[in-house]
Structure 1
Amino acid sequence: MIEVAPEILALLVGVAVLAGFIDSIAGGGGLVTVPALLLAGAPPVTALATNKVQGVFGAVSAATHYARAGLVDPRAQVVPAALAFAASVGGALCVSLLPTDTLRLGLPVLLIAVALFFAFKPGLDDLDRATRLGPVAFNVTAVPIVAAYDGLLGPGAGSFYMLAFVLLAGRGVLAATAHTKLLNAASNAGGLCAFALIAEPWWIAGLAMGGGQWLGAQAGARVAAGRGAALIKPLLVAVTSAMALRLMWAGL
Structure 2
Amino acid sequence: MEISFELIGLLFAVAVVAGTIDTLAGGGGLITIPALMLSGMSPINALGTNKLQGCLGTGTATVLLLRKSKIRLRHIRPLVIGAFLGSALGTVAVHFVDQQYLSLAVPLVLTFIAVYFILYKPGKAANLGTKVTGKTFTYAVIPGIGFYDGMFGPGTGSFFTLANVMLRRAKLIAATATAKPLNFATNFSSLIVFTLYGNVVWQVGLVMMVGQFIGAWTGVHFLYKIDPNKLRLLVVIMCVVMLGKYLESSGWITFAF
Fold shared by both chains (TM-score > 0.5)? yes
Count of residue pairs brought into register by the alignment: 243
Amino acid at match of 1:236: R
Contact in 2 for aligned 1:91/1:152 (Cα 8 Å): yes
What residue number does 1:115 align with? 117
Give the Å deviation of 1:220: 1.0
C-alpha distance in structure 2 between counterparts of 1:216 and 1:95, whole Å: 28
C-alpha distance in structure 2 between counterparts of 1:207 and 1:189, whole Å: 14
Mapped pair 1:48 → 2:44: no
RMSD: 3.3
Q: Residues 80-99 of structure 1: matches in 2 within 5 Å?
A: 80-95=79-94
| Cα pair distance change 1:55/1:10, threshold 3 Å | same
Mapped pair 1:220 → 2:219: yes
Amino acid at match of 2:228: I
Contact in 1 for aligned 2:28/2:155 (Cα 8 Å): no
Give the Å deviation of 1:224: 1.5
Q: Once structures 1 and 2 are overlaid, which stretch shifts more, 73-82 or 57-66?
A: 73-82
- The secondary structure found in structure 2 opposite 1:4 is coil
Give the Å deviation of 1:23: 0.9
What residue number does 2:58 align with? 59
Mapped pair 1:235 → 2:237: no
What residue number does 1:168 align with? 167
| Cα pair distance change 1:9/1:237, threshold 3 Å | closer
What residue number does 1:19 align with? 18
What residue number does 1:187 align with? 186
Deviation readout 1:190-216 (Å, 9 max, x if unpaired): 222222233431113212211210111
| Cα pair distance change 1:146/1:247, threshold 3 Å | farther
Amino acid at match of 2:94: V
Give the Å deviation of 1:107: 4.0
Percentage of pairs with the same residue: 34
Contact in 1 for aligned 2:61/2:180 (Cα 8 Å): yes
| Cα pair distance change 1:61/1:84, threshold 3 Å | same
Structure 1, unmatched stretches of 5+, are none
Deviation readout 1:68-90 (Å, 9 max, x if unpaired): 33321123222211221111111
Contact in 1 for aligned 2:53/2:205 (Cα 8 Å): yes
Amino acid at match of 2:117: A
C-alpha distance in structure 1 between counterparts of 2:186 and 2:72, whole Å: 18
| Cα pair distance change 1:170/1:150, threshold 3 Å | same
| Cα pair distance change 1:237/1:140, threshold 3 Å | farther
Deviation readout 1:127-159 (Å, 9 max, x if unpaired): xxx982343332112110100011112122222
| Cα pair distance change 1:215/1:203, threshold 3 Å | same
Contact in 2 for aligned 1:63/1:181 (Cα 8 Å): yes
What residue number does 2:255 align with? none
Contact in 2 for aligned 1:131/1:168 (Cα 8 Å): yes
Structure 2, unmatched stretches of 5+, are 253-257
| Cα pair distance change 1:13/1:116, threshold 3 Å | closer
| Cα pair distance change 1:212/1:238, threshold 3 Å | closer
C-alpha distance in structure 1 between counterparts of 2:67 and 2:164, whole Å: 20
Give the Å deviation of 1:40: 3.6
C-alpha distance in structure 1 between counterparts of 2:44 and 2:16, whole Å: 22
C-alpha distance in structure 2 between counterparts of 1:225 and 1:131, whole Å: 26
C-alpha distance in structure 2 between counterparts of 1:99 and 1:142, whole Å: 26
| Cα pair distance change 1:106/1:18, threshold 3 Å | closer
